[in-house]
Structure 1
């Protein structure tokens, strides 16, 4: 039996209060949620290649570790639509405690930006992505309502709510596709450059820095796909794409993969893209982890659905927040090249964070 969204929000709040591990999500433009409820905790996978042949909901961190593993929700307790009755585990396994982390101050951001610029101008990297955290009080907000607010506000985004012991409680609405497809036919995208939406404007003028950043991401994806055996590839763009209160430059890739190339191999090839990390990939990932003053955890990882016999859809975990007992930790970042200006990059992250704040404030 279907129920109204406000009742469904209360159901999700009850699962959170009881410490139940679950994943709830809306695919882009979908009006019906899917809910996967675990009896205990989701499965922990040791590598992206382990996704080959699997079915379920995936939640992955920026960098794999024993503390922040690749999570696979594959319970048979799957509920589609605004259902009123679900089978609830008798015991809880998730505790969403308080965090001692604080917001990234402008002083810390500027200091880290300067360190990044030294490396970029010295030629060690061609691009790095600098992120920041904004901590806001949670008060008594219904997380179920905030989740449904996100879906209503950003219909074209992949919207999710995940609760698990190793990850904690996360909520996001992300516009960036990592991988979609089946039977060897896939698509992905290069997303870079950000500007606030201007009312009445249909054509946006992008700076040389934004176009350079977009080209870096596009070239990287082309090279990585070719390196893992993709031979048939079509590119469309770059074009301006709207995502909430900002616009991005987007290039869409459609390609055919050899039958021996599985989802896990493609994910390992693409993640993390330069849109959330930098180049060279492995060295940039390590440098970011060592230099940023906060832990990204599952921000700039990915989330979505893997299906061995149906279409897989995975999305880069942008526009997301970690939810704790007394606070929301909001994350946002931007690509830095040798042409970047610190003040402009800080303002870009403000626009992205405003997207998340508007979702929370819609519940007031």
Structure 2
């Protein structure tokens, strides 16, 4: 695996070509070209995420020192196929600023737009979920919907990636070429699932949201409203409690703030809790830690089994990579994984976008539908669609 010379993130994005994979995380940027070794569909059957990673390393026994890493996009449902590989060539760089791609006419015009389900159908899904929650079958479920766009010509992924980096430079940006497909998973996630470095572990769940507003006073009001919302604080607490419960067996210490903070992206306000821990065993891998809490109530619900069953019953599609986990891991297990949200699957002229909302007993269908629309704006803005 060759290590290319370090360059600025703009140059790294310029060097991105279809078929490459790019991770633009807050403290690290990775451009991967080619695949030294990858795990095929038949090799993944019946294996957990961490078992798949172990098998990948076994297929590539030689070591590359501290640059030795693998890249993966894992699905929402562990039974589905993942994309994981060790690149042939890697360019590494610390986080740097970027600028939007200026020649907007290079991004094609949408010919056709469909929602699946349509807004009215989605609101009916929310009503059904609220009824089940009030019937004490579960406490929370996260319901998503798809936006499907067909363009007049092929979309150049590089331009979309540059816009995502410029708009969301402190978030988890990615464009990963999916194995056994011609598709690329591209997006900008605000949510860190797990970062593990030596004996330290960090997770930063988000749950509870409001859209950003153009007017500054209205925008501040939205943030203040979110910070005091009983419904959103309850929804957030369910996520934090589940993560704390599942991480505790691995941690000597675990620091969990008493109240969430409010953070922002270009399009949304979110309730956020940064949880930090010290591991009993530095040998536990980032993927093991990630799969111990995945899927969190932030993207599935709680209790997990009941929520998973309900969303499979109500959502008229397979999420596959949407709300899965995306990131990298070194051979020693250190790594960083974000939740695959604010993202899309792109295949030449076709793009499929995903957005979801957490449903609890107090949820209002129209508000939840509006929330999904606001979350879609991250990708739409990168496409030059406002």
1:215 is aligned, of 234, 237, 246, to 237
The residue matched to 2:87 in structure 1 has which SS? coil
2:34 is aligned, of 30, 37, 50, to 37
What do the CA deviations read for 1:51-74 (whole angstroms, capped 9, x no partner)?
469541121011023xx4122221
Partner of residue 97, structure 1? none
Q: Is the 8 A contact 2:328 2:335 kept in 1?
A: yes
In structure 1, C-alpha distance between the alignment counterparts of 2:288 and 2:372, rounded to whole Å = 32
In structure 2, C-alpha distance between the alignment counterparts of 1:5 and 1:235, rounded to whole Å = 33
Shift of 1:310: 7.0
Partner of residue 145, structure 1? 159
Corresponding position: 1:230 with 2:244: no
Corresponding position: 1:156 with 2:170: yes
* RMSD (CA atoms): 2.9
Tell which deviates more after alignment, 70-79 or 169-178: 70-79
Corresponding position: 1:130 with 2:143: yes
In structure 2, C-alpha distance between the alignment counterparts of 1:40 and 1:255, rounded to whole Å = 33
Shift of 1:240: 0.2
2:301 is aligned, of 264, 271, 278, to 278
Shift of 1:172: 0.9
In structure 1, C-alpha distance between the alignment counterparts of 2:73 and 2:133, rounded to whole Å = 31
Partner of residue 187, structure 2? 172
Shift of 1:216: 0.6
The residue matched to 1:358 in structure 2 has which SS? helix
C-alpha change, 1:266 and 1:41, in structure 2 (3 Å) is: closer
In structure 1, C-alpha distance between the alignment counterparts of 2:77 and 2:124, rounded to whole Å = 23
In structure 2, C-alpha distance between the alignment counterparts of 1:186 and 1:113, rounded to whole Å = 35
C-alpha change, 1:336 and 1:105, in structure 2 (3 Å) is: same
What do the CA deviations read for 1:88-129 (whole angstroms, capped 9, x no partner)?
xxxxxxxxxxxx985320122122212212211111110000
Corresponding position: 1:115 with 2:106: no
Shift of 1:248: 0.3
Shift of 1:258: 2.0
In structure 2, C-alpha distance between the alignment counterparts of 1:160 and 1:287, rounded to whole Å = 29
The residue matched to 1:75 in structure 2 has which SS? strand
Partner of residue 109, structure 2? none
Shift of 1:325: 3.0
Shift of 1:8: 6.2
Corresponding position: 1:248 with 2:270: yes
Shift of 1:5: 7.7
Partner of residue 87, structure 1? none
In structure 1, C-alpha distance between the alignment counterparts of 2:6 and 2:70, rounded to whole Å = 23
Q: Is the 8 A contact 1:52 1:308 kept in 2?
A: no
Q: Is the 8 A contact 1:33 1:80 kept in 2?
A: yes
TM-score normalised by structure 2 residue count: 0.79
What do the CA deviations read for 1:187-213 (whole angstroms, capped 9, x no partner)?
102210111224252852222111110
Q: May I ask how many residue pairs the two structures share in their alignment?
A: 337
In structure 2, C-alpha distance between the alignment counterparts of 1:2 and 1:190, rounded to whole Å = 32
Unaligned runs of 5+ in 2: 58-68, 94-112
Tell which deviates more after alignment, 251-260 or 294-303: 251-260
4+ residue runs over 3 A deviation: 1-12, 39-45, 51-55, 100-103, 308-311
In structure 1, C-alpha distance between the alignment counterparts of 2:305 and 2:139, rounded to whole Å = 13
In structure 2, C-alpha distance between the alignment counterparts of 1:318 and 1:106, rounded to whole Å = 19
Corresponding position: 1:289 with 2:312: yes
Partner of residue 85, structure 2? 73
Tell which deviates more after alignment, 249-258 or 72-81: 72-81
What do the CA deviations read for 1:270-316 (whole angstroms, capped 9, x no partner)?
10000000111133223312320122110000101112337411101
In structure 2, C-alpha distance between the alignment counterparts of 1:2 and 1:308, rounded to whole Å = 22
Partner of residue 21, structure 2? 23
TM-score normalised by structure 1 residue count: 0.83
In structure 2, C-alpha distance between the alignment counterparts of 1:41 and 1:211, rounded to whole Å = 42
The residue matched to 2:225 in structure 1 has which SS? coil
